[in-house]
Amino acid sequence: MRIGIVASEAVPFAKTGGLADVAGTLFKVFREMGNETYLFLPFYKTVKNVGNTRNAGTISVKIGSQDMEGNIIVQDEENGAVIFIEQDYYFNRDNLYGTKEGDYPDNAERFGFFDIAVLKAIEKLNLNLDVLHLNDWQSGLIPLFIKDSGMKIGTLFTIHNLGYQGNFEQGILDLLHINRKYFTMEGCEFYGNVSFLKSGIVYSDYISTVSPTYAKEIQTPEYGVGMDGILRKRKDRLIGILNGIDYSAWNPSTDGMIYQNYTLSEITKKKINKEKLAEELKFEISDKPLFGMVSRLAGQKGVDILTDALKDFLKEDVKVVILGTGEKALEDALTELSALYPDKLKALIKFDNTLAHKIYAASDFFMMPSKYEPCGLGQLIALKYGAVPVVRETGGLKDTIDNYNEYTHCGNGFSFEEYSGKALLETLKKANNAYRDRKVYDSIQTIGMLCDFSWGRSAETYLKLFEKIKALP
Ligand code: ADP
């Protein structure tokens, strides 16, 4: 197969969330499985020093009445290449999508340019791709442009989070020279705006999302964010493929970022990570159960019910460490709570990958009370590190975490259904009780550490789907 992956972020080049892990890992895995694969990314400021690149030519995209030039920067890899689209006016900025004050006002133009530039680069380099794997709204116009130009290339559009839709004012149609015939309810029009995400849903050959449960949920009004109708219409072409994680990056036995490596058979060594984290954070933990969390602080992540639940839970003999950044109100709420309970809660408001690894390694439990969760990587990492997940039963969390059953003693974590501080609090208390009964806790932790969520099976499913797409008339 000759595959192109288009994403707005991918490890190790640029990352703000799980999409980066998925795109970067699939690029590696598809090539390892013998498929010529190309990864398309904007050439962001933070990526510019990657090295080992060559300039493979220029492209020009008409934006309004202007010709915007760009460079195709290639980093060759075994069985493929990373292809960066360089356009400094659009991409040589401090951040990927915006600043603390909000999104960059020209994101529609930036990613519209990117989408057209990717297709021009594919033609210019004669890549002859069988399938383009598009990810999230930033690449959502590509299926429309393919349809419009008659290019022969199959498309899979993957939704990593339906909450981010790339909806913009109509003016973008003229700026990108998109024929108004596509601006209909059956097309890319969405409540009077142009929706990049809807364009991806409507014009791609297949649609996927990152867990089977989320694939079902997004067809309902509760989780559909206005797109449920159009998704139901295309349900025969919509599938859920669970994300995996890259165990070469996330493995407590080899992780160079944690204080002490450990395995299931030497699990007692794990507690050295707790002791050292306490030292580093100047936060006394000793033998108390440590509840960790590493997350974007966004409404989606359940931070509101978490702060609610913590107000009571912090009265118990427990310790909580939360690492996250995001919406200011949620950051402030956690900071305020930690000021009330300074010896119980440490709120670390920043993005810090090394510290994230240390928290997974140190924690006895890992909290993800998400309102919705397309797949979630945090709980998968937590399982591997022996931090027992406490999650809400939604999306990928539901597909990967089985609530501990006190009668059968099955389960790799704790989960609850109702989205409320009360339900979360009850579950946290249950988890805390289990911690006091070592036999129960050890068994849940062991089952979790033995789970295998590596990419192999999911990558096979993607490849089978690509074959199907390639065979479409
Ligand atoms: P999402 O993609 O919605 O943000 P996921 O659980 O799929 O959520 O992926 C989040 C990834 O980002 C995980 O690898 C997590 O460890 C990491 N992460 C989130 N917030 C931070 C942070 N503040 N510092 C370091 N890593 C973080």
**Residue 73 belongs to a domain:** yes
Which are the contacts of 19, defined by CB distance < 8 A and separation ≥ 6?
Answer: 7, 8, 9, 10, 135, 136, 160, 161
Residue 98: inside a domain, yes or no? Answer: yes
- Please indicate, yes or no, if residue 255 is contained in any of the structural domains: no
- 354 CB near ligand 1 (under 6 Å): no
Query: What b/e string do you get for 162-201 counting C-beta neighbours within 10 Å, with b at 16 or more?
Result: bebbbbbeeebbebbebeeebbeeebbbbeebbbbbbbbb
Q: Which residue among 296, 301, 363 is best mutated to probe the pocket of ligand 1, counting the most ligand atoms within 8 A of its Cβ?
A: 296
Q: Do both 308 and 236 map to the same domain?
A: no
Exposed, middle or buried, 343 (CB in 10 Å: 0-12/13-18/19+)?
A: exposed
pLDDT of residue 17: 84
- In short, whether 294's Cβ falls inside 6 Å of ligand 1 is yes
Same domain (yes/no): 274, 332: yes
In the chain, the N- to C-terminal Cα span, in Å, equals 17
Other Cβ atoms within 10 Å of 452 Cβ, number? 10
Do 307 and 230 fall into the same domain? Answer: no
Task: Say if 256 falls within a structural domain.
Answer: no
Total residue count of the chain as it appears in this document = 473
Q: Is the pTM of this model over 0.75?
A: yes
Q: Is residue 320 part of a domain?
A: yes
The domain tally of the chain equals 2
Ligand 1 atom at minimal distance to the Cα of residue 19: 2
Beta bridge partner(s), residue 189? 194
Centroid of ligand 1 to alpha carbon of 71 (angstroms): 31
292 and 346 within one domain: yes
Q: Are residues 355 and 334 in the same domain?
A: yes
What phi-psi label fits residue 314: left (phi over 0), alpha (psi between -120 and 50 degrees) or beta? Answer: alpha
**Ligand 1 atom at shortest distance from the alpha carbon of 325:** 23
The CATH number that applies at residue 329 is: 3.40.50.2000
Instruction: Indicate whether 69 and 215 sit together in one domain.
Output: yes
Any domain includes 271: yes
Closest alpha carbon to 115 in 79, 63, 160, 46: 63
Nearest protein CA to atom 4 of ligand 1, as residue = 17
- Token pair, residue 221, equals 């009004």
Domain membership flag for residue 441: yes
Same domain assignment for residues 432 and 463: no
Q: Does residue 404 lie within any of the structural domains?
A: yes
Cα separation, 18 vs 267, whole angstroms: 28
Asked whether residue 360 falls in the same domain as residue 463, the answer is: no
At residue 162's C-alpha, the angle toward residues 115 and 28, to 5°, is 60
**Atom in ligand 1 nearest the alpha carbon of residue 250:** 14
**φ/ψ of residue 41, rounded to 5:** -140, 150
d(CA 359, CA 137): 31
Residue that the structure tokens 């429309």 belong to: 144
Closest CA to 208 of 463, 397, 25: 463
What is the pLDDT at residue 147?
Answer: 98
Q: Are 5 and 26 in contact (CB under 8 A)?
A: yes
- Do 208 and 269 sit in the same domain of this protein? no
Range of the domain at 339: 264-451
Same domain (yes/no): 445, 464: no
Sheet architecture: strand order including 388-392: 345-348, 319-326, 290-297, 365-368, 388-392, 414-416
Alpha-carbon Rg for the chain, nearest whole angstrom, is 23
Ligand 1 centroid–CA 343 distance in Å is: 25
- Rounded to 10 degrees, the C-alpha dihedral 225/293/212/406 comes to -120
Q: Which segments in the chain show pLDDT lower than 50?
A: none
* 268 in the same domain as 240: no
Distance 377 CA to ligand 1 centre (A): 7
Q: Does 173 share its domain with 190?
A: yes
Angle 16-107-103 (CA atoms, 0-180°, nearest 5)? 60
